[in-house]
Structure 1
Amino acid sequence: MPSGLPSALYGWPGLCCIPLKRKNTDRCPASLASLIINHHEDSKAPQLALVASILGLAASLDWKAASNLNPFEKCMEDPDYEQLLKVVTLGLNRTLQPQKVIIVGAGIAGLTAAKVLSDAGHKVTILEADNRVGGRIFTFRDGKTGWIGELGAMRMPSSHRILHKLCRSLGLNLTQFMQYDENTWTEVNEVKLRNYVVEKMPEKLGYDLSHRERGHSPEDIYQMALNKAVKDLRTLGCKKAMKKFNRHTLLEYLLGEGNLTRPAVQLLGDVMSKEGFFYLSFAEALRAHSCLSDRLRYSRIVGGWDLLPRALLSSLSGPVLLNAPVVAITQGIHDVRVHISTSLQSRSLKVLTGDLVLVTASGPALQRITFSPPLTRRRQEALRALHYVAASKVFLSFRRPFWLEEHIEGGHSNTDRPARLIFYPAPDEGALLLASYTWSDAAAPFAGLSTDQALRVALKDVAALHGPVVFRLWDGTGVVKRWAEDPHSQGGFVVQPPSLGHGDEDYDWSFPYGRIYFAGEHTAHPHGWVETAVKSALRAAVKINKHWSRVPSPEKQAILHRLEHIHVSEDVQQQEESPEGHVFVEAIPQVQEHITVETITPGKGHVHVHHQNIPSHVHEKVFPDVHGHVHEKVFPEVHGHVHEKVFPEVHGHVHEKVFPEGHGHRHMHEKVFPEGHGHGHVHETVIPEGHGPLHPGGHRQMEPGSQRHRHMHSSCKGGGGT
């Protein structure tokens, strides 16, 4: 380290050297900033010039050079990051064997994967349980004022180059997100100070700090606590050190090896919002802090974050079905079937068939999907271990941006009141204030409150910082979003407590389960960021394009043929793994159902819904054939059987007997779960983890059973979905 420079300048996460614009001074470590101010006040121009030169040199350091000095960054690097960046830039290789891919979920992961796979030539259909796309990207737009508020994602660190590239490739404009403004407030213990004071003397807030902790900014105190972790990384190596960190909470580390006093830890919880992370694993807390710090530079999308999913949607050529919750996914030898539960009004059931499925639903939504064969025990354990925390936002609309009169042009104020964090819009963004942003346990005070109650709690806390003028200027309106109460996400984001078992290894969700792939924010690190979801989608797309598009058709057919020798059995009384690796599965009950057709076809950024009355059929160009379009009869309602050309075989179309229609009911010739007089059960072997249906040692055989007709109401039962 160059002599004379504060250690905080080179401290982890190593990104604070990148300047964050303030009104007159670049954002830099408090000790160095105070040095500049003191020199300026003493009119020592030569020394000020020297410090400014050093600052300029430090700010110009390349990211890679900084990471060489920073063992934390090196540990948290994605080894495939540059490859994924290349995929965003250049796309995937064009496939010679297009696959019919069904994507569950139209959040940012699902939409990104759909675009990349579609551009490569695959035939993609998206199923979304909600009535909109975007998932946890959700922009509120005030129809009267035109002001916007981000109910979900609102910023991206400058280090997230993949996401920046994706936005630019879609023609979206980015601008700076003001994370820090020195004129904002911190109020704790009924003491209120400007943040430029807190940066220099946090003890003035009433914390009984030790001598070595006094006079340092909260960020610097946190960096001091990481010294032992840096030594562990250098002596143990990245993998062993992160395993060690994964077994302890952040709170345990700060008080133990971090050697901080309890008042200092409380300071970090109150001022840096670390309280919500205290019970995470220390490794998870490190990942979180690498992307969340007032010393980082952030960007936002001009015009609102929802422009990103809209742009991705507009780029797609395949269909997107909204209000289509998936309740079951059934893998066969040659395909995979996705069962969709439709609304009570339409009283219909839909089953889509594809070559592959990519599931991007959140963890809670994923648990509501019935998989046949069931997921492996290890994957089920990993799914149940996902720990989602609550996240809530409360916006208040004011007649004018009163905070500008206090010289606040962005950033956030901190308080130990229920509102916790208050974010201010840019000067030209109106007067819609993010009056409260909370997550984890800090979101509890807003749980269960009515919208009006939540608005008034936040209003009272804002007034405690800015005075009674707040009550006079509030126009009486606002919006509240509690992600834990969202029926599709059921949480804000994933954070992991200390790990238990399995060698402290994180589960690798990138491995497919047969024909089923997984992606989403919960499947990659760091949790809680848009780019993480994008990275997971790109990884899945790369695997799909590589593993399924380059295998010669005869070879693929030969390998799949081996699957036909797998013995499958069913025991509806129990579901457990046998010593041989078999899994007993329960057949999905078949009941009677009338059908109303609701088919959604793509348009440039639009979704067209067509309703057909019974009896009728649909000529649908959902999955065009290589030699021309297909008259698609996915859900035909006719008085007879169906000549089904949805997934034509190599030698021509198929007279499909899966869903033949007879006078308004479905009569099903079903060979997957046949019912016979005492001999219609199915013997199913669990699909090996990571190998997919091409695993040489795994095959499968269906016993024919009887071919009698069955009336069906729904080929899958259960609520929820994605």
Structure 2
Amino acid sequence: MTMHRRRFLQSVGLGLPSLALLASLSACDDSADGEENGTPGRSGRQKVIVVGAGISGLGAARHLADKGHDVSVLEARDRIGGRIWTSQQWSGTPLDLGASWIHGIDGNPITDLAKKAGAKTVVTDLESATDYLAGGQELEGAQAQAFERWQKATANALSAFQKKDDEDASIRSVVQNAVGWSRLSDSDKAMVSYALNDYEHEYSGSVDQMSALYFDDDAKIKGKDVLFPGGYQQITDHLAKGLSVQTGQVVKRIDWTSAGVTVTTDKNAFQADHVVVTLPLGVLQSGAVTFGPGLPQAKTTAIGKLGVGVLNKCYLRFPKVFWANTDWLQYVPNVDKYGQWAQWVNVARPTGQPVLLGFNAADFGRTIENWSDTQIVDSAMATLRTIYGSNIPAPTDHQITRWASDPYAHGSYSFTKLGATSDMRDQLAASVDGRVHFAGEATDRKDYATVHGAYRSGLQAAKKITG
């Protein structure tokens, strides 16, 4: 097992995946050019509907339009970008509520897009972190060594399981069995729990649900992680230039025959030769869109068995900076506070503004979606006051995400759930009858849960049409 996106102290590289995209429900425009029998020649100009204006849909549409095809992008939201969503709520401080990073800039197509878009990037140093124990004291000395030891023990337990076991199990059960959980001290349990929760931040799923065999069966990231001080929206805006995009179109049904496809929205019904469906896995699972004459069993099985996780953000704006001047702030809560406010990003470093970003993943991230903003902010501040003292200033404003409650997302990004296999992503990506094509981060076997995986999946779907 190789962890790679984020930092497990100095020992194991983990990462916070870019929320790939929220390709929404939507639809399109009327009839299509074709041959006399209604089946267009493969080299001829095709009429294509792309459902969803996230980066997967925009990538597919851009490729098809540049090849001379007639493309319409349909988006349920009143904006493009999907799970790439840059807030302009605070003047002069654009903040990404969805995807934040290019994870691994080497050989990454988003790096090339950023250059073409003229988007400035700033490196997030994975080794720039300050770590705190549950009481707020900084982690150092023997405790820091113990923390690192438990990170390695957790990773080694999963690696050993993957080498010898054919029968799957949850990440939590594998790790707790390997480390002798019941015999551990409360302090050691807290450190192991932090390690488990870090996997949840990485992959978005609960460690009680994630497959220990397949959770990390993805490509290894190369190069530094960078974010966009001007917002990720610069990338989707660049891709969308000149494309026909209709917002506010919520897809209800997709039908197809040997002659073409019909996409029905809450407003219209539209025909084309092909459709590229970039709906998030959570939307497919919700049943909000009906497919006629029905999807193959292998695809419906994949939709049902793969998982959709949660990673929510809470931005807090303060009158001044009072926290450590490192990129990451990491907090090891007691076991009874499992997964609560364990990871923070110092937004002041790239923006120059007194802003902190707190993350909550998986079960706790989902739980607090039912809380009010005030309750969420109070909970976050309780942790910050534990670390930095009761006299720190109150935040002047906040911005909070609730991705699981979003009807056009139903979660943040996909993970490989216990009972699923990596092959199921191939089934999810498979075209149906040469007419209905699928893309999105969940369909990409090697780069799921990333923006670049979502983008590449859109290109692959488009190439199935262009040949």
Q: TM-score, normalised by structure 2?
A: 0.80
Match of 2:120 in 1: 173
8 Å contact kept, 1:439–1:492 = no
Q: Is 1:534 matched with 2:455? A: yes
> Following the alignment from structure 2 to structure 1, what is the Cα–Cα distance between the partners of residues 376 and 352?
22
Match of 1:324 in 2: 249
Q: Is 1:153 matched with 2:72? A: no
8 Å contact kept, 2:217–2:422 = no
Match of 1:220 in 2: 152
Q: Which amino acid in structure 1 is aligned with residue 280 of structure 2?
A: S
Q: For 2:74, which of 106, 109, 127 is the aligned residue?
A: 127
8 Å contact kept, 1:180–1:412 = no
8 Å contact kept, 1:139–1:148 = yes
> Following the alignment from structure 1 to structure 2, what is the Cα–Cα distance between the partners of residues 268 and 142?
38
Match of 1:118 in 2: 65
Q: Is 1:513 matched with 2:440? A: no
Q: Which amino acid in structure 2 is aligned with residue 452 of structure 1?
A: T
Larger Rg: 1
- Secondary structure of the 1:285 match is coil
What whole-Å deviation, never above 9, does each CA across 1:180-231 have from its counterpart, x for those lacking one? 424x23233x3632368754232xxxxxxxxxxxxx4444333433553575
Counterparts of 1:444-523 in structure 2, within 5 Å, are: 444-470=366-392, 472-475=393-396, 477-499=397-419, 507-514=426-433, 515-523=435-443
Q: For 1:392, which of 312, 322, 336 is the aligned residue?
A: 312
Q: Which amino acid in structure 1 is aligned with residue 369 of structure 2?
A: A
Q: For 1:200, which of 141, 145, 148 is the aligned residue?
A: 145
1:297 Cα offset (Å): 3.3
Aligned-residue sequence identity (percent) comes to 22
Match of 1:359 in 2: 277
Q: TM-score, normalised by structure 1?
A: 0.53
Q: Is 1:413 matched with 2:343? A: no
Moved more, 320-329 or 152-161: 152-161
Q: Structure 2 vs 1, CA of residues 380 and 399 (structure 1 numbering), >3 Å: closer, same or farther?
A: same
Q: Structure 2 vs 1, CA of residues 195 and 324 (structure 1 numbering), >3 Å: closer, same or farther?
A: farther
8 Å contact kept, 2:229–2:351 = no
How many residues align? The count is 417
Match of 2:230 in 1: 303
8 Å contact kept, 2:161–2:174 = no
Q: Structure 2 vs 1, CA of residues 481 and 29 (structure 1 numbering), >3 Å: closer, same or farther?
A: closer
8 Å contact kept, 2:342–2:359 = yes
8 Å contact kept, 1:254–1:265 = no
1:289 Cα offset (Å): 10
Q: Structure 2 vs 1, CA of residues 223 and 444 (structure 1 numbering), >3 Å: closer, same or farther?
A: closer
Q: Which amino acid in structure 2 is aligned with residue 270 of structure 1?
A: Y
Q: Is 1:267 matched with 2:191? A: yes
1:538 Cα offset (Å): 1.7
> Following the alignment from structure 1 to structure 2, what is the Cα–Cα distance between the partners of residues 365 and 384?
11
Structure 1 regions of 5+ residues with no counterpart? 1-10, 21-26, 32-94, 203-215, 233-240, 343-349, 547-722
Structure 2 regions of 5+ residues with no counterpart? 13-41, 201-205
Q: Structure 2 vs 1, CA of residues 480 and 302 (structure 1 numbering), >3 Å: closer, same or farther?
A: closer
Q: For 2:216, which of 275, 282, 286 is the aligned residue?
A: 286
Q: Which amino acid in structure 2 is aligned with residue 496 of structure 1?
A: T
> Following the alignment from structure 1 to structure 2, what is the Cα–Cα distance between the partners of residues 279 and 186?
28
Q: Which amino acid in structure 2 is aligned with residue 312 of structure 1?
A: L
Q: Structure 2 vs 1, CA of residues 296 and 115 (structure 1 numbering), >3 Å: closer, same or farther?
A: closer
- Secondary structure of the 1:324 match is coil
> Following the alignment from structure 1 to structure 2, what is the Cα–Cα distance between the partners of residues 522 and 154?
18
Counterparts of 1:15-94 in structure 2, within 5 Å, are: 29=10
8 Å contact kept, 1:363–1:383 = yes
Match of 1:443 in 2: 365
8 Å contact kept, 1:172–1:307 = yes
Q: Structure 2 vs 1, CA of residues 108 and 195 (structure 1 numbering), >3 Å: closer, same or farther?
A: farther
Q: Bigger relative contact order, structure 1 or 2, given CA contacts below 8 A and separation 6+?
A: 2
> Following the alignment from structure 1 to structure 2, what is the Cα–Cα distance between the partners of residues 114 and 503?
27
Cα-Cα RMSD: 3.1
1:489 Cα offset (Å): 0.3
Q: Structure 2 vs 1, CA of residues 228 and 474 (structure 1 numbering), >3 Å: closer, same or farther?
A: closer
1:420 Cα offset (Å): 2.6
Q: Structure 2 vs 1, CA of residues 125 and 197 (structure 1 numbering), >3 Å: closer, same or farther?
A: farther
1:535 Cα offset (Å): 2.0
> Following the alignment from structure 1 to structure 2, what is the Cα–Cα distance between the partners of residues 542 and 289?
22
Q: Structure 2 vs 1, CA of residues 28 and 327 (structure 1 numbering), >3 Å: closer, same or farther?
A: closer
> Following the alignment from structure 1 to structure 2, what is the Cα–Cα distance between the partners of residues 363 and 399?
40
> Following the alignment from structure 1 to structure 2, what is the Cα–Cα distance between the partners of residues 457 and 14?
30
1:509 Cα offset (Å): 2.4
Q: Is 1:544 matched with 2:465? A: yes
> Following the alignment from structure 1 to structure 2, what is the Cα–Cα distance between the partners of residues 379 and 117?
25
1:362 Cα offset (Å): 1.3
Match of 2:86 in 1: 139
> Following the alignment from structure 2 to structure 1, what is the Cα–Cα distance between the partners of residues 144 and 208?
22
Match of 1:91 in 2: none
> Following the alignment from structure 2 to structure 1, what is the Cα–Cα distance between the partners of residues 160 and 280?
36
8 Å contact kept, 1:455–1:479 = no
- Secondary structure of the 2:153 match is helix
- Secondary structure of the 1:279 match is coil
- Secondary structure of the 2:364 match is helix
> Following the alignment from structure 1 to structure 2, what is the Cα–Cα distance between the partners of residues 375 and 441?
31
